[in-house]
Amino acid sequence: MKPVTNHYQHERLWQNYKTTLRSFTEPASKAAAGQAAGTKDLAELTDPASAEPKDRIQKLLDELTKNFPGISFEIVPDGDYLNLKEKAASLGYGKHLLISESFLRRMESSEKDYQDCKSMLLASVLFLAENKAAGVFLGEKQATSWSIKDKAEQKDPEAETLAQMLQSLKEAKNNSKIRFSGNVSYETGELYRKLARAGDKALIQSVISETYQNMGTLRLISCLGEDKERAKAQKAIRSLQRLVVRSRQKMRHLDKEELIKLKKIRAAKRQEEEKVRELQKELKKKQAKRMRLDKRILEEGEKADLEIRRLKQYLAHVNQGEMLAAGAVGAGAVGDFSGMDGGTVSVGQIEMAETVEF
């Protein structure tokens, strides 16, 4: 096994390179307005194309290794893909990202390939960091993830796939054109309020789409941002993930109400008055339950905004060492895998996901 930190390394041209994502304070003249409307942080993400390909790649790998200490990064021969289940089982528990030599060669070959491979690399890191898989293998043109089957766990059929994670990042990067300078809001309360007001499935779907769009941008920041920005982005991502769960819950409530309404119409046509009254009572109960859910959604949105404001205040008064000591950044911010490494895993426990081409 070849750890990233000891392989694929030439001269270190980026030792004193400052992180590429910077936040800028709001001008004093706009401070009051910003506090009233909810502060938004300006962020700028740059990706210098002038550096040598190997240096760019090494710098990116170093940054990801530092930012996600809970993930084991390894560069492996292409042939490991042929026995990937056995390889995955031998790695045991924990989070593992296997980067093939052909993936790195492709990443060096052109600017387009560099950007395509970088998107796949970031998507894979975040897929692991958000605990959606046990490992990912990056080949030259395809990626495969695996999970470890546990009888106590039930697979979520609506869980985000690696392909969806990749698409989310690509859309975020396309919107920002890699180099962007725009308002990045870490406060998620407004989306919670939109969901609470949504009265039909189309409006809920609109909220979900906006949520995933925001999540894509925040994921880029959580990968390559300064530590303070990463901490805020990761906090916002967790809030948005809860919002997606609430959105699906509300859609299921609306489906149940719609079914009762259809039953009521059929009963009315058959002139079953007692059945109509029963269905009407049931419908009112379902609507009351949904209204309670809407109230809880509003409360969660207010709580999420309060938490991010408190985090901003905390981060404004701490230095780097204090942040690391408090665990505000790093793998634990999105997914804490400490203590999970090792352990015996059989080949039969390894479940391979569908291959993603990029």
Spell out the domain ranges in the chain. 1-184, 188-326
Q: What does the pLDDT read at residue 225?
A: 75
Quote the tokens at residue 106.
């492709």
Q: What does the pLDDT read at residue 32?
A: 38
3-class SS at 246? helix
Helices (H), the chain: 31-37, 53-67, 84-91, 101-109, 111-129, 162-176, 189-197, 201-224, 227-269, 273-315, 320-326, 331-334
Q: How many other CB atoms sit within 10 Å of the CB of residue 18?
A: 8
- The pLDDT tens digits for 98-108 are 999 999 999 99
Report the Cα 186 to chain-centroid distance in Å. 14
Rounded to 5 degrees, what are φ and ψ at 64? -70, -40
* Residue ranges of the chain whose pLDDT lies below 50: 1-2, 5-45, 176-182, 325-342
- The pLDDT tens digits for 215-250 are 888 888 887 777 788 888 889 999 999 999 999 999
**Entry pTM:** 0.59
Q: What does the pLDDT read at residue 4?
A: 57
% of the chain surpassing 90 pLDDT: 44
